[in-house]
Amino acid sequence: MKERIERLKKLTYISQNEIAWLIEQAELSVKQQEIIEENKRQQEVTVHQFRQAQKDIQHLSGDRKRYKQALEKIITNLNFAITVAQNELEGDVK
């Protein structure tokens, strides 16, 4: 490709073949740029989705921790209530 460009620079007359090649290269360059731009856009969307997923995971982890703590308190209270009830039953039996 470099050779063709250098040869074109030296020519005063450019053949139809060379013009066609130049146009083809320019069109190819435009298509490649469009592909690059689309890939960048898709990458930005993916990064945004990933960051949103990270936030969702952090939020859900916090919810899980709060639910676990609340459940542990309920279990503790139930165990205490069971112990009290057992003690009352043992007191009634004696």
Query: Which residue range(s) make up the domain with 60?
Result: 2-93
Q: Give the number of C-alpha atoms closer than 13 A to the C-alpha of residue 58, restricted to the C-beta side.
A: 6
Rounded to two decimals, the pTM is 0.53
Condensed to tens digits (0 to 9), the pLDDT of residues 3-44 reads 877 777 777 677 888 888 888 999 999 999 999 999 999 999
Taking residues 39-61, what's their average pLDDT?
95
The per-residue pLDDT for 47 is 97
Average pLDDT over residues 60-78: 93
Q: What total number of domains does the chain contain?
A: 1
Contacts of 59 (CB under 8 A, 6+ apart): none
Task: In whole angstroms, give the CA distance from residue 17 to residue 73.
Answer: 83
| Spatial CA neighbour of 72 closest among 83, 61, 64 | 64
Q: In the chain, what percentage of residues exceed pLDDT 90?
A: 57
pLDDT confidence of residue 37:
97
